[in-house]
């Protein structure tokens, strides 16, 4: 694994990045953008419950459609977005993407008002006859509220724009922060991301409820009050980033038009020949796959723990986020003293041990919370050094492509375990699945260790 240059005592910890005014602007923009991202799905659920869910009807079907619309762009456009980010101004992409998402969200209430109670017919001829008869009897079509279709389209567009923002943000960090401070910068970003993740789901519903009450007091629709929280956060992020100064090389801007397939191929070839970056990306994929599976398995774990109910699985996930935040803070403060190779290996071993401990925690809430916290802590020891290595190793003209491919791979890594973990748990049991994830983690760590050592002996072709 790439070894970041040693830093002096004065350059260790968060002090250098917190005294960097340009980084603070980027971080502030990230804070508001992340808050909006976390509360967005809570807002969609509130709008569905308020407009489309019938009394006594389960909301899961409506929410599943929203989640699919939110996930598809991440899989389809992650790599493509990175190609254009390399050719465009990173600052421009971040500003426009936030303002565009804010504008999209703010148009939802008037559109719902315009199409109130209107429906559109969806033909059923494409469904199998047996399934159509069981689900819809002899209907030739089923009718969907146009307002709900608008929510699906808005969610799809918002998620698509996010695919451009994510690689632009990652590619901007190395332009603002010195190489020796990248570890601290990524630690701070990870801490913020996990903090907003926990707070977003924890306070999202109460915050939107408060916004709805205030809107009622000032005589505006409750929808607009809730939407202002999310759309306003995106807009504030865009305005903050307008003041960001980024020194980008003009040669990479306004150049020849991108050739998407060729540029994506260039990114894949770069990963093929740079073992250090490819190794870091593989470890991130394994890490995100484990956490995606855990988000499903936590429901079953909460069901088995005597003190919890299945619907309280959020407590288990929340303490995992706390563990990541603690680990990120520690890595940012002390990580420069430890080679990333060792951090990654220790983190992989710790994740494996935490999963084994979790497999034994079905009878104890305390043990379940401790094992999940440790899992989050050791995950930070893997994720942050690997993300830092990709930023430090990748040249500036390739960062958009590489981060686009990373975004795409991570989203696939997040999606597949969501579909497979529940099936595997039903067939083989929770303990077997957790032990299997522990084996994957330790094998990934050992393979990474071997590949990293071999890359020292045999340099990358791209480095020659």
Residues 16-26: pLDDT tens digits? 888 888 999 99
pLDDT surpasses 90 at 320: no
Ordered by start, the domain boundaries in the chain are 14-128+138-248, 259-457
pLDDT surpasses 70 at 262: no
Which range, 39-48, 98-107, 136-145, 200-209, is most confident? Answer: 98-107
Q: What is the pLDDT of residue 439?
A: 92
Is CATH 3.40.50.1820 the classification given to domain 14-128+138-248? no
Rounded Cα gap, residues 119 and 146, in angstroms: 5
What does pTM read for this prediction? 0.71
pLDDT surpasses 80 at 429: yes
The mean pLDDT value for 410-424 works out to 71
What is the pLDDT confidence band of residue 195, given thresholds at 50, 70 and 90? low
CA 430 to chain centre: 25
Kindly report the CATH number that applies to the domain delimited by 259-457.
1.20.1250.20
The mean pLDDT value for 228-240 works out to 93
Same fold, 14-128+138-248 and 259-457: yes
pLDDT surpasses 90 at 238: yes
pLDDT surpasses 60 at 407: yes
Q: What is the pLDDT of residue 371?
A: 92
Q: What is the pLDDT of residues 197-232, one digit of tens each?
A: 666 656 677 778 788 788 778 777 767 888 998 999
**Of 160, 155, 185, nearest in space to 20 by CA:** 185
What is the pLDDT confidence band of residue 243, given thresholds at 50, 70 and 90? very high
Q: What is the pLDDT of residues 45-76, one digit of tens each?
A: 888 887 877 777 666 667 777 877 887 887 78
Q: What is the pLDDT of residue 41?
A: 80
The Cα angle at residue 166 between residues 162 and 172, in degrees rounded to 5:
140
- Of 412 and 375, the structure prediction assigns the larger pLDDT to 375
Mean per-residue pLDDT of the chain: 77
What is the pLDDT confidence band of residue 106, given thresholds at 50, 70 and 90? very high
């Amino acid at each position: 694994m790439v070894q970041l240059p040693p830093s002096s005592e004065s350059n260790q910890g968060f002090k250098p990045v917190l005294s960097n005014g340009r980084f603070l602007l980027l971080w502030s923009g990230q804070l508001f953008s992340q808050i909006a991202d976390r509360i967005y799905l809570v807002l969609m659920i509130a709008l569905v419950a308020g407009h489309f869910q019938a009394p006594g009807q389960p909301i899961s079907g409506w929410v599943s459609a929203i989640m699919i619309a939110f996930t598809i762009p991440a899989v389809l456009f992650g790599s493509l977005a990175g190609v254009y980010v390399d050719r465009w101004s990173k600052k421009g992409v971040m500003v426009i993407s936030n303002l565009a998402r804010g504008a999209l969200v703010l148009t939802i209430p008037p559109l719902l008002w315009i199409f109130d109670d209107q429906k559109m017919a969806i033909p059923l001829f494409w469904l199998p006859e047996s399934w159509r008869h069981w689900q819809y009897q002899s209907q030739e079509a089923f009718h969907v509220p146009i307002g709900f279709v608008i929510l699906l389209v808005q969610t799809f567009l918002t998620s698509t724009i996010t695919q451009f923002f994510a690689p632009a943000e990652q590619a901007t960090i190395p332009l603002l922060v010195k190489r020796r401070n990248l570890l601290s910068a990524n630690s701070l970003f990870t801490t913020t991301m996990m903090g907003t993740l926990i707070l977003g789901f924890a306070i999202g519903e109460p915050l939107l409820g408060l916004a709805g009450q205030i809107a009622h007091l000032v005589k505006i629709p409750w929808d607009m009050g809730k939407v202002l929280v999310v759309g306003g956060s995106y807009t504030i992020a865009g305005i903050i980033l307008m003041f960001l100064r980024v020194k980008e090389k003009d040669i990479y801007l306004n150049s020849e038009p991108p050739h998407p397939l060729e540029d994506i191929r260039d990114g894949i070839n770069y990963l093929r020949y740079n073992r250090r970056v490819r190794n870091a990306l593989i470890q991130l994929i394994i890490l995100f796959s484990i956490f995606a599976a855990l988000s499903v398995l936590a429901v079953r774990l909460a069901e088995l723990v005597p003190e919890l109910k299945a619907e309280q699985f959020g407590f288990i996930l929340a303490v995992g986020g706390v563990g990541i935040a603690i680990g990120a803070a520690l890595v940012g403060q002390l990580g420069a003293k430890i080679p990333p190779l060792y951090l990654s290996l220790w983190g992989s071993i710790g994740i494996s041990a935490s999963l084994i401990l979790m497999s034994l925690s079905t009878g104890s809430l305390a043990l379940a919370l401790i094992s999940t916290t440790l899992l989050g802590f050791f995950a930070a020891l893997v994720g942050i050094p690997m993300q830092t290595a990709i930023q430090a190793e990748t040249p500036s003209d390739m960062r958009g492509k590489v981060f686009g491919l990373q975004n795409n791979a991570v989203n696939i890594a997040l999606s597949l375990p969501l579909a497979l973990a529940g099936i595997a748990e039903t067939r083989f049991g929770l303990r077997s699945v957790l032990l299997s994830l522990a084996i994957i983690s330790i094998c990934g760590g050992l393979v990474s260790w071997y590949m990293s050592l071999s890359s020292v002996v045999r340099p990358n072709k791209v480095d020659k």
